[in-house]
Amino acid sequence: MRYFLEFSYKGTAYHGWQRQPNALSVQECIEEALSTLLGNKISILGAGRTDTGVHALQMFAHFDTNTIDTTAEDLVYRLNGFLPNDISIKTIHRVGDGAHARFDATSRSYIYKLIQHKNPFLTDQAYYFKPSLDIDAMNQAAALFLDHQNFKCFSRSKTDVKTFDCDVRAAYWERQSNLWVFHITANRFLRNMVRAIVGTLLDVGVGKTTIDAVQQILHSQDRTKAGSSAPAYGLFLTQISYPNTIFDPNGAQSKK
């Protein structure tokens, strides 16, 4: 039987989501806890992966097992007892055997948090960036992403993907109390894409890069033309969307 886990984590202490041979990952922690509780080796597959230091307010993964002999609520409680305080399981859903945490996701959303006054309580959760910013210009530049398809210029070099095309559905900055927050939603993201976009928009904000230049960067498909990547610790995966039928054990199966 297949199950979906919904969970969140603070990524500061981890070498990203994906299991690594010589470094601690979120995936490893959850797999070890599940394997201990269920009495057999459990492997989980995430809806995506986050880099070292990146956080997730909502993440999903799926796993297969026939050894769950308790309620989902009880398993959530017991699993949280095995996990460190910076990883929290929210729900466990029984799903159809063909449901897939990665392939069935219809969109993913991220935010990036930026502060312009030093705040010790946000040291590892928001980027302290002192220079004055032209947020209107940054939002004009961000709007260009909605009409573009190929985002190779914002992708990590030597990444193994079949396509650099992404359907960006929202991209904008807004003020939230003492924070500037960048929101972006797309059907998929390339590795390092959001951080490279934020770095490029900060270049626009300080007047280093024009809006026309951002359009040229997009058409160039050249990572060296875009800005430097913003630090990982300001980035949060906030939402992953699925068809409503995904959480019905008798619902639609994965198309892949």
Question: Active-site residue among 51, 64, 74, 104?
Answer: 51
Name every residue whose Cβ is closer than 8 Å to that of residue 226 and which is 6 or more positions away in sequence: 153, 154, 196, 197, 199, 200, 217
| pLDDT level of residue 251 (50, 70, 90 thresholds) | low
Q: How far is residue 134 from each of residues 131, 139, 146, 201, 206, measured CA to CA in Å? A: 10, 9, 20, 10, 7
Report strand pairing: 168-176 vs 127-128: unpaired
Count other C-beta atoms under 10 Å from residue 144's C-beta: 16
- pLDDT above 90 covers a percentage of the chain that reads 88
Same fold, 2-103 and 107-238: yes
Please say whether the beta carbons of 204 and 141 come within 8 A. yes
**131 burial via Cβ count (<10 Å: 0-12, 13-18, 19+):** exposed
pLDDT digits (tens, 9 = 90+) for 1-20: 999 999 999 999 999 999 98
Average pLDDT of span 82-88 = 97
Place of tokens 């690594």: 20
Does residue 74 carry a catalytic annotation?
no
Please say whether the beta carbons of 151 and 193 come within 8 A. yes
- Give the Cα separation of 26 and 170 in Å (integer): 28
pLDDT digits (tens, 9 = 90+) for 209-239: 999 999 999 999 999 999 999 999 999 999 9
Fold adopted by 107-238: Alpha-Beta Plaits (3.30.70)
Best CA proximity match to 56, nearest among 8, 101, 19, 15 = 8
| pLDDT level of residue 244 (50, 70, 90 thresholds) | confident
Task: Tell which CATH classification among 1.25.40.10, 3.30.70.260, 3.30.70.580, 3.30.420.40 matches the domain 2-103.
Answer: 3.30.70.580
**166 burial via Cβ count (<10 Å: 0-12, 13-18, 19+):** buried
- Give the Cα separation of 218 and 79 in Å (integer): 44
SS3 at position 162:
coil
Average pLDDT of span 118-136 = 95
H helices within 96-192, ranges in order? 135-143
Name every residue whose Cβ is closer than 8 Å to that of residue 245 and which is 6 or more positions away in sequence: 251, 252
SS3 at position 50:
coil
Domain layout of the chain by residue ranges: 2-103, 107-238
pLDDT digits (tens, 9 = 90+) for 23-69: 999 999 999 999 999 999 999 999 998 999 999 999 999 999 998 88
- Give the Cα separation of 248 and 228 in Å (integer): 43
